Amino acid sequence: MSTSFNPQLLPSVKGELDSSLAAIIRDGQTFFAAPATSLAALASARSELHRAKGVLQMLNLRGLVAVCAELETLLDELAADSRLATVVHQDAIQHALLGLTHYLDALAAGAPNATLRLFPEYQELQQVRGLDTAFEVDLFFPELEVALPPALQQAQAPANATSHIKQARMHFQQGLLKWLRRENAAEALRTMLGALKITARCVAPPQRRFWWVAQGLLDCVSLDGVPPDLNIKKSFSRIDQRMRTLLDGGEFDEEAALSEMLYLIARSHTVNETVEQIKQRFDLETYLPEAPPLPPGQTAALLGNLRAQLAAVDETWEQCVLND
């Protein structure tokens, strides 16, 4: 079963979604006008939101489902104690609902499904609930069904693949432990990368997508391409878990692990040809929102501030020259 969003299905349910979101906005306004006596309106909004989330799940719009889930959690908290309701809550909910509406309009008009455009609204919902940090990766859902380079698909797996994977996992774990301890990190990463290459050769071609992306992530880390504020330890742990499941047949959420690795690669500098190939094959730039232009007033203020700083630097320089 495909987990990809099919834009051709959206027109058939777009009207229903628009009506649901409009109803939630109206019910929310009724509730916030008198929280203590308007719990029925809140219940109606929660029911409508649950219905809309189900439609979005059917469309495989997983990023929008994540935003709706955050909205649901906030509405559930308000239903449990209406005294929590403030203007801040109302604004966050309103912004999220309008953001969802505009996002669906853009999708219907042919815009790419890049849910990170809704990250400000998602972050606001979490902040209202008292969460200090929101993570972009929560809304990063690239298209995963892409064609792999021919060389990856043509390589033959060895006959004793299981023993090779077992050995590779041992080497990966040894390298990971050294990397975590910061014991010759460069050598540790080379060991880990070698283990990934062995594993990639030992699995069937359809499974090599994960290991190709994992190699790209190791390249980014090895060549200092990953921004320092991003956490890569979780992805390394998931790579080890995937090796384990290859051996014991256990369950593994490959889509989540793959999306997280692709997010890290998307945010990284292009350090070599493999990383560039991955970025192009998965069209990762599409899923990263462009920084919006500053409003004219804010731009003028910023330029004025920069001119003032430059004038101060010039004055200081002239004073230094005169003193010499």
pLDDT tens-digit profile of 187-208? 999 999 999 999 999 999 889 9
DSSP annotation string for 145-207: --PPPHHHHHPPPPTTHHHHHHHHHHHHHHHHHHHHTTSSHHHHHHHHHHHHHHHHHHS-GGG
Give the number of other Cβ atoms within 10 Å of residue 11's Cβ: 9
- The pLDDT value given to residue 302: 45
- The pLDDT value given to residue 294: 39
- The pLDDT value given to residue 296: 40
- Sign (positive or negative) of CA dihedral 14, 16, 18, 24: negative
Percent of the chain with pLDDT over 90: 80
Spans of the chain, pLDDT less than 50: 1, 291-300, 302-303, 306, 313, 321
Does the domain formed by 7-139 have CATH 3.30.70?
A: no
pTM of the shown model: 0.84
- The pLDDT value given to residue 271: 87
Give the number of other Cβ atoms within 10 Å of residue 290's Cβ: 8
